[in-house]
């Protein structure tokens, strides 16, 4: 814990991360790119801590204390989802798991339908959403809800994918977040994607309000990116060992900050979802410059949700290649992976790991999704 720094210790005391077990520094290598990433990562630590202190003060001191629910204008504008979305048939020409056998277990055992996947997508990059929709989302019983900025079809003119529209927020001026022309929020990519960061909490609030979630049919809510790949069978095996009634939050945890990197999956138990006051988090955090992972993690922390640190592959921090051997050694026993690309050919596909991976090179997405689907469907359950 001492390595996390006093500021972060006071920020999220429930997290117990031993960095010595995560990073074998004898294996570190360096490069100009890594040095730039490390400097940016250190700068983001300061930004993260400052924003958390600011938003917590706002959260406790300036919000109305009525019934603990303060719906934001951004959320209210997107309350009504399109209804009548139909589940699609198996996609022809793809290695679909639609007809994979159901789990041979007790009726109360965890099934795919007990997990609500929230897939963050966009119309501009809809080919990624189509890949997810026609591969791992097509496994029988899997619930995928695509959070989109604009509605679009399934890419084959057959069905409307299960979607809910949450447009990118325009309440934050990117130039306001880049002070002095340098710093964490000044990079072009972060400037370009800043508005999209504010879609995640409204997406989570919408899922929390869904009838089947309210009725207790969902035990886990998992937020992933559209280019994340989920090994459904491996995920089920892991989640069956955990109690969803406990307020839990986990994934590929950042070694220097108590947050989960969302590409590798942000996993929330239903116990966590029930405790989190997402409306109030939106009200507090949509007024300051933040990344989506920060918002989700801080919202969970404020609700007293426990963060588990045992299941990530330690690829969350910048420059995962720097501790290649450490990550490679962890592959047979870790489940969530933010940056898989350097390790893709070494994934142990004949074991119960991994569960969710992210960071596949864009030009390799199609072939990799097909290959992984073929490798994983036979052992889905």
Tens of pLDDT along the chain (381 residues)? 343 333 333 333 322 222 222 222 222 233 334 444 444 555 555 555 554 554 455 444 434 333 333 333 333 333 333 233 223 323 323 233 333 333 333 347 999 999 999 999 999 999 999 999 999 999 999 999 999 999 998 878 767 799 999 998 777 888 889 887 788 899 988 988 999 999 999 999 999 999 999 999 999 999 999 999 999 999 999 999 999 999 999 999 988 788 999 999 999 999 999 999 999 999 999 989 999 999 999 999 999 999 999 999 989 876 656 677 888 888 889 999 999 999 998 888 888 999 999 999 999 999 999 999 988 765 544
Residue pair 152/178 in contact (Cβ under 8 Å)? The answer is no
Q: Is residue 2 part of a domain?
A: no
In whole angstroms, give the CA distance from residue 249 to residue 274.
12
pTM of the model: 0.75
How crowded is residue 79: how many other Cβ atoms within 10 Å of its Cβ?
12
- The structural domain count of the chain equals 1
Residue 130: its H or E element: helix 126-134
Residue 234: beta bridge partners?
none
How crowded is residue 182: how many other Cβ atoms within 10 Å of its Cβ?
10
Q: Is residue 73 part of a domain?
A: no
Q: Please choose, from the candidates 351, 247, 233, 253, the residue with its C-alpha nearest in 3D space to the C-alpha of residue 310.
A: 253
* Residue ranges making up the domain that contains 192: 32-62+110-376
Residue pair 237/352 in contact (Cβ under 8 Å)? The answer is yes
Q: Is residue 105 part of a domain?
A: no
Q: Is residue 231 part of a domain?
A: yes
Q: Is residue 85 part of a domain?
A: no
Instruction: Give the number of residues written for the chain.
Output: 381
Q: Is residue 68 part of a domain?
A: no
> Cα torsion at 253, 256, 259, 265 (round to 10°)?
-30
- How far, CA to CA in Å, does 47 sit from each of 23, 65, 71, 183, 185? 23, 28, 26, 9, 9
Q: Is residue 347 part of a domain?
A: yes
Q: What CATH number corresponds to the domain at position 214? A: 3.90.550.50
Q: Is residue 115 part of a domain?
A: yes
Q: Please choose, from the candidates 115, 125, 148, 138, the residue with its C-alpha nearest in 3D space to the C-alpha of residue 265.
A: 115
């Amino acid at each position: 814990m001492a390595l996390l720094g006093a500021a972060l210790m006071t920020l999220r005391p429930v997290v117990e991360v031993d960095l010595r077990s995560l990073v074998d520094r004898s294996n570190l290598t360096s490069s100009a790119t890594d040095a730039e990433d490390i400097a940016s990562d250190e700068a983001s630590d300061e930004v993260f801590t400052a924003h958390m202190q600011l938003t917590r003060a706002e959260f406790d001191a300036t919000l109305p204390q009525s019934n603990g629910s303060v719906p934001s204008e951004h959320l209210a504008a997107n309350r009504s989802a399109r209804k009548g979305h139909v589940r699609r048939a198996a996609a022809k020409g793809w290695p679909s798991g639609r007809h994979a056998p159901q789990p041979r277990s007790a009726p109360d055992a965890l099934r795919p339908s007990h997990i609500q996947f929230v897939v963050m997508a966009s119309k501009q990059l809809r080919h990624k959403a189509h890949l997810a929709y026609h591969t791992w989302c097509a496994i029988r019983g899997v619930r995928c809800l695509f959070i989109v900025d604009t509605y679009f079809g399934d890419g084959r003119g057959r069905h409307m994918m299960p979607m809910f529209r949450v447009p990118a927020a325009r309440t934050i001026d990117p130039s306001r977040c880049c002070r002095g022309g340098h710093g964490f929020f000044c990079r072009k990519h972060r400037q370009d994607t800043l508005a999209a960061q504010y879609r995640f909490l409204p997406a989570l609030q919408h899922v929390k309000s869904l009838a089947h979630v309210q009725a207790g049919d969902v035990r886990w809510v998992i937020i992933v990116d559209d280019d994340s790949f989920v090994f459904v069978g491996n995920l089920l095996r892991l989640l069956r060992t955990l109690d969803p009634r406990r307020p839990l939050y986990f994934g590929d945890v950042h070694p220097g900050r108590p947050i989960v990197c969302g590409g590798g999956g942000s996993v929330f138990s239903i116990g966590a979802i029930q405790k989190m006051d997402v409306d109030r988090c939106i009200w507090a955090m949509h007024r300051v410059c933040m990344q989506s992972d920060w918002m989700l993690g801080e919202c969970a922390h404020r609700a007293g949700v426990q963060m588990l640190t045992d299941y990530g592959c330690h690829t969350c921090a910048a420059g995962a290649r720097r501790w290649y051997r450490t990550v490679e050694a962890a592959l047979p026993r870790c489940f969530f992976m933010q940056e898989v690309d350097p390790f893709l050919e070494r994934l142990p596909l004949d074991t119960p790991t991994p569960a969710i991976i992210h960071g596949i090179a864009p030009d390799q997405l199609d072939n990799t999704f097909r290959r992984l689907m073929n490798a994983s469907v036979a052992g889905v359950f």
